[in-house]
Amino acid sequence: MDERAYAKLNLALHVRGREPDGYHRIETLFVFAEDGDQLRAGEGEGLTLALDGPYAGDLPEGADNLVMRAAERLRERFAVRLGAALRLTKYLPVASGIGGGSADAAAALRLLARFWKLSATESELSTIASALGADVPACLLSRAARGTGRGERLVVVEDSSVSGMPLLLVNPGIALATASVFRAWDGVDRGPLPDGPLLEAALAGRNDLEQPAIGMVPEIASVLQALRSGDGALLARMSGSGATCFALFDSARHRDETAARIAAEHPSWWQMATRLR
């Protein structure tokens, strides 16, 4: 069985405050690309994980991998005695603001619930997801949603207007630790995330982590400029804590023209041309 680990995007991300425990209260708009990493499950003794793909070398294969942690927690919760041989094909850069590890863990929960034929409810899977990381519940849904709290309190957004919208993801090839970017936030609450349709709210919103991330990785500003200068770019912004940035386009032709120009000018940058789910 196969399962896609869909790349996560934050169309907007408002940081509203820092809690005493060091975590932050946020308001965000989650959406997901049609593409991402790929996870496969087959028969096996015990739980095993093999890695391949262009970014496989950046991940641990053992118990520290989020896929294995998700699998173990699911097996414990439902007293599963069966094993699984898992293979993760890693297409998304690590520590890049598009939920790679969180998406992989969420895909493991969805995949193994099917593979082991568990009668797991969405609520039960979400409880496991919450213990794995703040973005894992959103990645478990892999649907447009508003997130509050640490991002784990979700309200699904029924807005088909952005589904299928051409999307380009670009990363300058520099990993950024989420905790470091949040620590660099200046502590200023710049106001709530607007209501309204997804694209309208996103355009009226912002990503409060952009400036601290640019301070740590100046190349992000160059990525944003390259995306914003593309014909037909409707919205260009950094996702999450970076360093991946994205642009939504009015047509696949404009997306592909921008992708070709960026590839020619910056051949070392990673990019993925896809669409929103």
| Domains of the chain and CATH, by start | 2-156 (3.30.230.10), 160-275 (3.30.70.890)
pTM greater than the 0.85 cutoff: yes
Q: Kindly report the number of other CB atoms within 10 A of residue 156's CB atom.
A: 11
Rounded Cα gap, residues 140 and 253, in angstroms: 31
Q: Which of 213, 225, 236, 235 is nearest to 261 (CA)?
A: 225
Residues forming the active site: 8, 135
**Would you state the pLDDT for residue 260?**
98
**Would you state the pLDDT for residue 64?**
85
- Ordered mean pLDDT values, 10 residues apiece, the chain (277 residues): 98 96 95 98 95 93 90 97 96 95 97 97 97 96 97 95 97 95 97 97 98 98 98 98 98 98 98 98
Rounded Cα gap, residues 173 and 10, in angstroms: 19
Phi, psi of 133 (to 5 degrees): 160, 155
**Would you state the pLDDT for residue 62?**
80
What is the dihedral angle through the alpha carbons of 197, 202, 205, 206, rounded to the nearest 10 degrees? 160
**Spacing of C-alpha 269 from chain mean position:** 18
